[in-house]
Amino acid sequence: MLKAIPKAATVDRYLNVVRAIIAHRIREFDLVGVKNQFEKLDVADSGREPDKRKRLPFTAEQLAATRERVLDRAADDLKQIWRLLQGTGCRLSEITGLRVSDVMLEAQYPHIDVEWHDERRVKTEVSRRKVPLIGDDEKSLSNMICHKSHLGRCNPLRTNPKPREKANSYS
């Protein structure tokens, strides 16, 4: 039994999985004339715009306090990651999943290529983009590529990425 009633967006995500499974089966078994009954099933309220008030952006004060705390207390590699997050507006996974080949410091306009690869998935097609590097961003990336942190760990940028193992929910 459900403990709470799921939101329309959650139900719609689950239905997308069911739609894909049924469509795949119809194609795989050449089920000519079989219609996917889930294809046009709409969830009430799913077209409504999400409530953006639940995810408010940082205030200037919160951002300044967070920056001060990170830059005062964190290890060098985390400081560099923070600078990139704040300066580029990228998601954490986009920054920590960067490969050296994604960084274009020698381009006319230094930037990073946010792309889909085995080490990092992008959230949507629109998420694939070129993000310009300005000020601290360029310096942080240059440091991350050229140096190891004071702890001897390699930087978060991957020079030889290993493909992510595929998770199998049936094992």
Q: Give the range among 60-64, 100-104, 160-164 with minimum mean pLDDT.
A: 160-164
What is the C-alpha separation between 151 and 71, in angstroms, rounded? 16
Question: pLDDT (tens digit, 9 = 90+) per residue, 127-151?
Answer: 889 999 887 677 767 766 655 433 3
- Look at residue 14 in the predicted model and tell me its pLDDT: 87
Average pLDDT of the segment spanning 146-168: 44
Q: Which residue has the higher pLDDT, 41 or 154?
A: 41
Question: pLDDT (tens digit, 9 = 90+) per residue, 7-34?
Answer: 887 888 888 889 888 888 888 888 889 9
pLDDT confidence tier of residue 110, bands split at 50, 70 and 90: confident
- Look at residue 41 in the predicted model and tell me its pLDDT: 85
Average pLDDT of the segment spanning 110-137: 81
pLDDT greater than 80 at residue 166: no
- Look at residue 49 in the predicted model and tell me its pLDDT: 59
pLDDT greater than 50 at residue 116: yes
Q: State the residue for tokens 């929910």.
A: 169
- Look at residue 164 in the predicted model and tell me its pLDDT: 47
